[in-house]
Structure 1
Amino acid sequence: MTRVALIDDHESVRLGLEAACERAETMDVVFSGSSVTAYLTWRSKTGAAPADVVVLDLTLGDGTTVTENVRRLVLDGSSVIIHSVADRPAAVREALAAGAAGVVSKSSRIDDVIAAVTTVARGEPLNNVEWASAVEGDREFADAQLSAREREVLRLYAAGLPLKVVADRLGVAYSTAKENITRVRVKYVEVGRPAPTKVDLLRRAMEDGILAESAAEPGGGAGDG
């Protein structure tokens, strides 16, 4: 069962999501409330483990910022999905920069919201229209200044290929491909967008449009190969 927390200051939204999660039969709503502070207080009092996924309203009525809320939840050990209205791209970008795993619009079908929770619970980032709209044209998501070779290595690696296969595809030594990935990680750290895992690298490639530069290659699993 995926343990889900719902944080939204509109009770009707929470009730609708709770009912949908119950119908899914693979999800357990462990908390439903109007603020991150209320959720963390509940965690502290009950000793409950962090929710696997927190579905978080973009703007709460308690004066907190989206950056503050996302960071508190991520540091507490949960993945965060922003449940957002479609006309707040700047705030959505702020949430993604703070560590949110993705965004799903409040105008989406409820089945799409449940599918998003399932995707994030598997440790995969969301790659949807809302994500693309949020990062489009935002230079903060495109300033790592990767070289052409680094972009190509990242594209293949993030698409799922083991690093040895990436090296073979590009006709370079394994050590060269590994050095390229190391440099890519260093460059992302330098611009405040660290990518310590392969999933993080996939997120960066999505944010910067690198996976869209050509068709994604078929490949293996998400291991670091």
Structure 2
Amino acid sequence: MSIDCHIVIIDDHEIVATGCRGEFARFGLPWEVTWARALSDVAWPDGRTVAVLDLRLNDGTQPKEVIAELESRSVPVVIYTSGEDPKRIRDAMSAGVMAIVNKTSPIEDLIEAIKAALRGEPSGSMDWARALDMEDDFVKQLTPREIEVISLYASGVPADRVARSLNLSRNTVTHYIAQIKAKFLAAGLLKDGGRVELSKAAAKIGLTSYYE
């Protein structure tokens, strides 16, 4: 089978490329998959190429600079991400990527995004834009004090220390936390009131740096 195009997977984890290679073959796609841990490690192939890029690389590069370099090579970019960092997603969208696909989505979504990119057609970003707009609307429902409390508490700071840091009583902090949880639950951003789940929900909308 002749090679139709090259798919360069840029991701910290080689297993992502291995999985994509197997799935593309299962669907009978004549795509050659290569893997690189960073943009600087890519051995660029000849012929049509699409880059499938994770937004969080351990080499410290930022999405905008990586995407700009890929665009300078006329390589279309499909973002393949777990979606936990709204700022990086916004940066990628503003940089003009062809699509943003969640790693939890069916592999067919990634395949369709790559096919569209090969045609020079963007896809998928509007769903992400709507989701980010919903998260922005939720943050606007929080008061400045609630944002201060949740940013500390969901980052792992005990309630007593949150109280001392913000010059509040512990009871006041507990009351704020209860109010914040209620707002997360009402917005469908939280399924239970546990601290770990609250931390993950807060991190998803950019209010803490917590990741499990």
TM-score by length of 1: 0.53
> AA paired with 1:111?
E
The correspondence for 2:120, drawn from 112, 118, 123, is: 123
Distance 1:134 1:3, change over 3 A: farther
2:31 corresponds to which residue?
28
Q: Deviations over 1:99-147 (max 9, x none)?
A: 21110001111121111111111111113564334663799xxxxxxxx
How far apart, in 2, do the equivalents of 1:138 and 1:75 lie? 32
> AA paired with 2:29?
T
Distance 1:89 1:37, change over 3 A: same
**Bigger mean CA offset, 2-11 vs 17-26:** 17-26
* Secondary structure, counterpart of 2:65 in structure 1: helix
The correspondence for 2:5, drawn from 2, 11, 35, is: 2
* Secondary structure, counterpart of 1:136 in structure 2: helix
* Secondary structure, counterpart of 1:20 in structure 2: helix
Distance 1:111 1:127, change over 3 A: closer
The correspondence for 1:53, drawn from 50, 54, 79, is: 50
* Secondary structure, counterpart of 1:83 in structure 2: strand
Matched, 1:102 2:93: no
Matched, 1:93 2:90: yes
1:152 corresponds to which residue?
none
Contact kept, 8 Å, 1:20 with 1:114, in 2: the verdict is: no
Matched, 1:136 2:136: no
Contact kept, 8 Å, 1:3 with 1:30, in 2: the verdict is: yes
> AA paired with 2:55?
L
* Unmatched runs of 5 consecutive residues or more in structure 1: 140-225
Contact kept, 8 Å, 2:5 with 2:47, in 1: the verdict is: no
How far apart, in 2, do the equivalents of 1:108 and 1:138 lie? 20
**Bigger mean CA offset, 120-129 vs 101-110:** 120-129
Contact kept, 8 Å, 1:53 with 1:80, in 2: the verdict is: yes
> Alignment RMSD, CA only?
2.4
Please tell me whether Structure 1 or Structure 2 has the larger radius of gyration of its CA atoms. 2
Q: Deviations over 1:65-104 (max 9, x none)?
A: 1111111111111100111112222211101212211100
* 1:29 shift after superposition: 2.2
Distance 1:133 1:86, change over 3 A: farther
* 1:16 shift after superposition: 0.5
* Unmatched runs of 5 consecutive residues or more in structure 2: 137-212
Matched, 1:84 2:118: no
TM-score by length of 2: 0.56
How far apart, in 2, do the equivalents of 1:11 and 1:30 lie? 11
Q: How many residues are treated as equivalent by the alignment?
A: 133
Distance 1:26 1:10, change over 3 A: same
2:187 corresponds to which residue?
none
How far apart, in 1, do the equivalents of 2:53 and 2:47 lie? 14
Q: Deviations over 1:155-210 (max 9, x none)?
A: xxxxxxxxxxxxxxxxxxxxxxxxxxxxxxxxxxxxxxxxxxxxxxxxxxxxxxxx
2:72 corresponds to which residue?
75
* Secondary structure, counterpart of 2:56 in structure 1: coil
1:16 corresponds to which residue?
19
